[in-house]
Structure 1
Amino acid sequence: MQGIDHDRRPGFSPQPTPPRKGWPRPQQPAHKPKRDPAPSRFAYRLHRMWLTPYFRRLTRIGIPAFLIAFTTLLWLSDEDRRASLSGGLTGMVEAVQNRDQFMVKVMTIDGASAPVDKALRMMLPVDLPASSFDINLDQLRSDILMLDAVRDVELRIKPDGVLAAKVVERQPVLLWRHARGIEQLDETGHRVASVTERSVRPGLPLIAGEGADKVAREAIRIFAASGPLLPRMRGLQRVGERRWDMVLDRGQRIQLPANSPVAALERLIVLDQAEDMLARDISVVDLRDGSRPVARIGLGAQNEIRAARGQPLLGADGRELPKQKDKKS
């Protein structure tokens, strides 16, 4: 009978061979639990927060900035440190501003009369030489434009420390007489300067009355259209702030309409050249009615007519003079 392999019999479990006496017992490997690969809840939440842009900006920028600001404020809380820092910064700024390349040494003014030149030099905020940082060109220009005689000014700091001013002055073309005195006006009606009397500027035409400066352009057009009447003109007077009266020599007055005064004056000039009307004894020519002019004869002509009719003569005030009684011989 063949041998039986007891190790392969079903249900047979061989017993381990006991160690012999004196031999070391083999070490059984200790059972170690497997590590869980899932992160902890705290690590998971921290990782999710780090993925948000706001948290990353707060960590990278906000916290360092807060620490720097806190440290700076803590250092500046001491008054002596603040004073030392302020003095150091001021000294550094002044050292840079007072360098020779930033210094303004002279001022040149082009296009200004002597009074305006003197006024501009007095308006400088500092005495020269001075740093260009101490001169505010925009503010200085605004102050200069407040002068009535200055229309425009250009300021520029040139190399070698030169403050150049190019001035455009207003040119007076009219004299305006009003209750407060006599003033020179430019073509826009802007005040240029005051004069004590008309003889100071005899070559300028005269306008008078309240509100005449506001319509200076119209007055200039009337003077330009006067033509042959210009040598006889004394001036223009504003009436009711709505129309003009042209005042001539020999006490004559031409009443211009409120609308189209130049056209009415041109028609009168044509009529005068044809009829020589203004050479007669006429005191007032009323042109306010555009359909026909109305003339008022002078006092001398009126008295001649009244004398021819046997009527009492008129005085300078327009009233009748008392009749003179015949003296008995």
Structure 2
Amino acid sequence: MRPIAGQKRSAQRRDPAPSRMAYRLQRLWLTPSVRAALRVGLPALVLAVAVGGYLADEGRRDALASIYTDMREKIKNRPEFQVTLLSVEGASPELAEAVRTALALPLPLSSLDLDLEAARSKVAQLYAVGTVDVRVQSGGILQVVIKEREPAFVWRDAAGIWLVDETGKRVAEVEARSDRPDLPLIAGEGADKAIAEARQIFASAGPLLPRLRGLVRMGNRRWDIVLDRDQRILLPTDQPVLALERLIALDQAQEVLARDISAVDLRLQARPSLRLAPYSLAELRRQRGIIPAENDL
């Protein structure tokens, strides 16, 4: 339809397409990293600048530190945070006293000042302690729950006489072997490191147990069995239990250990040997004419 003559032409419509700059800004806003930077990064930057400017003054920093210290002191000194009693459970009276001495806590003490992990480490260093758990219970009680090591052997070395558990860990020191006659005796350097083998030897000794006085670790590599009547069984480095079982079978058949011998050497399994006692050796030499009898002199 043509416009009527003399009437002004209506204004042209506005182009709805965005300008190039607006288009680029819209595309940039749709980028996830840019949106995150503007929504999170920019406020965080502003906040950091504000906090940094506030804390730049030393007086303000000291005032904040003083406020924090006062609040912490007020909180930790509240009655509900006070530890007034130390409870040691699962330990003998001697060990319980050793635990109290090791911790040396100046009670009453705020639970916020307690380092439970450091306390647990101190208690765990005691010989007789197997496992330990330290926790603060309601009512202001510091509870120490202990599982003691059970002594399984008496171990004699150059430093003294010790009770050790089935893994070779020291439990306690004793004055004499007679303090624990119910436990088997092991001796020598490195005997505590070969507890498993010693336990197998004791378990296989069977009929020799009434005569068995103990095991001696030789050269930190093998065992000697010590019997009464000053007799010894020299076990090999390899397969000592098998060698002992063979000797026991031989003894039951021929009563080897009932004879006047000082040692049975099993270190060479293919050729075991007997060592005669001094009197028997002298008598054997006399019979063979190696040395004259006393009556012939």
Match in the other structure for 1:5: none
**Which range is displaced more, 68-77 or 284-293?**
284-293
Unaligned runs of 5+ in 1: 1-27, 315-322
Pairing 1:250–2:229 present: yes
Q: Secondary structure at the match of 1:250?
A: coil
Q: Distance in 2 between matches of 1:102 and 1:113?
A: 29
TM-score (norm 1): 0.75
2:77 pairs with 74, 83, 98, which one? 98
Contact 2:85/2:108 (8 A) holds in 1: yes
Q: CA RMSD in A?
A: 3.2
Q: Distance in 2 between matches of 1:108 and 1:277?
A: 58
Counterpart amino acid of residue 273 in structure 1: Q
Pairing 1:110–2:100 present: no
Contact 2:103/2:123 (8 A) holds in 1: no
Q: Distance in 2 between matches of 1:35 and 1:273?
A: 123
**Which range is displaced more, 80-89 or 259-268?**
259-268
Contact 1:211/1:238 (8 A) holds in 2: yes
Q: Secondary structure at the match of 2:106?
A: coil
Match in the other structure for 2:291: 312
Contact 1:303/1:313 (8 A) holds in 2: no
**Which range is displaced more, 110-119 or 209-218?**
110-119
Q: Distance in 1 between matches of 2:207 and 2:27?
A: 99
Q: How does 1:154-233 map to 2 (within 5 A)?
A: 154-233=133-212
Pairing 1:147–2:126 present: yes
Deviations 1:127-161 (A, max 9, x none): 22222222233332233222221111122322212
Residue 53 of structure 1: how far off its partner (Å): 4.1
Pairing 1:89–2:68 present: yes
Match in the other structure for 1:4: none
C-alpha distance 270-31 of structure 1, shift in aligned 2 (>3 A):
closer
Contact 2:165/2:171 (8 A) holds in 1: yes
Q: Distance in 2 between matches of 1:289 and 1:60?
A: 84
Residue 105 of structure 1: how far off its partner (Å): 2.0
Residue 271 of structure 1: how far off its partner (Å): 2.9
TM-score (norm 2): 0.83
Counterpart amino acid of residue 308 in structure 1: Q
Match in the other structure for 1:276: 255
Counterpart amino acid of residue 62 in structure 1: G
Residue 112 of structure 1: how far off its partner (Å): 1.1
Contact 1:125/1:135 (8 A) holds in 2: no
Q: Distance in 2 between matches of 1:57 and 1:105?
A: 52
Deviations 1:75-97 (A, max 9, x none): 11111111111111222233333
C-alpha distance 68-258 of structure 1, shift in aligned 2 (>3 A):
same
Match in the other structure for 1:262: 241
1:72 pairs with 39, 51, 56, which one? 51
2:264 pairs with 276, 279, 285, which one? 285
Q: Distance in 2 between matches of 1:303 and 1:44?
A: 118
Q: Distance in 2 between matches of 1:90 and 1:199?
A: 59
Residue 282 of structure 1: how far off its partner (Å): 0.8
**Which range is displaced more, 54-63 or 171-180?**
54-63
Counterpart amino acid of residue 142 in structure 2: L
**Which range is displaced more, 34-43 or 208-217?**
34-43
2:99 pairs with 120, 126, 141, which one? 120
Deviations 1:221-257 (A, max 9, x none): 2223323322322321122322211112222111112
Number of aligned residues: 291
Residue 35 of structure 1: how far off its partner (Å): 8.9
Q: Distance in 2 between matches of 1:70 and 1:55?
A: 20
Q: Distance in 2 between matches of 1:267 and 1:42?
A: 100
Percent identity between matched residues is: 49
Contact 2:103/2:122 (8 A) holds in 1: no
Q: Distance in 2 between matches of 1:48 and 1:294?
A: 97
Q: Distance in 1 between matches of 2:176 and 2:286?
A: 43
Larger Rg: 1
Pairing 1:298–2:264 present: no
